[in-house]
């Protein structure tokens, strides 16, 4: 089956990203399992909200997640957009 992509997904894939982990459906099928590389997460940039809480912004493709949930794909990447 040929891979189909939308224009938005193609644009997201063209941007510079840093791989920080993987997402896949659990074997039982009731959850999405996300595995993050500890060292990669430590190198990610963060942002801080007004209340002082820090977050790491990460990106997953919605189209890839749908393919995982539909059983068409087994894994996808978890990334962070790079400023480079």
Q: Determine, yes or no, domain membership for 60.
A: yes
Q: Determine, yes or no, domain membership for 47.
A: yes
Q: Determine, yes or no, domain membership for 28.
A: yes
Q: Determine, yes or no, domain membership for 56.
A: yes
- Tally of structural domains, the chain: 1
At 33-74, the pLDDT tens digits run: 999 999 999 999 999 999 999 999 999 999 999 999 999 999
pLDDT of residue 31: 93
Q: Determine, yes or no, domain membership for 1.
A: no
d(CA 77, CA 22): 5
Query: Domain limits at 69?
Result: 7-81
pLDDT of residue 67: 96
Q: How far is CA 52 from the centre of its chain?
A: 25
Report if pTM > 0.75. Answer: no
Q: Determine, yes or no, domain membership for 2.
A: no
Q: Are 19 and 79 in contact (CB under 8 A)?
A: yes
Closest CA to 76 of 49, 67, 52, 51: 67
Q: Are 24 and 65 in contact (CB under 8 A)?
A: no
Q: Which residues contact 3 (CB under 8 A, 6 or more apart)?
A: none
């Amino acid at each position: 089956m040929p891979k189909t992509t939308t224009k938005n997904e193609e644009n997201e894939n063209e941007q510079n990203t840093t791989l920080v982990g993987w997402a896949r459906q659990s074997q039982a099928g009731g959850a999405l399992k996300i595995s993050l590389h500890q060292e990669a997460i430590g190198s990610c940039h963060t942002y801080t909200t007004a209340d002082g809480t820090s977050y790491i912004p990460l990106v997953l493709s919605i189209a890839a997640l749908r393919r995982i949930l539909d059983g068409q794909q087994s894994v996808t990447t978890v990334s962070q957009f790079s400023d480079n």
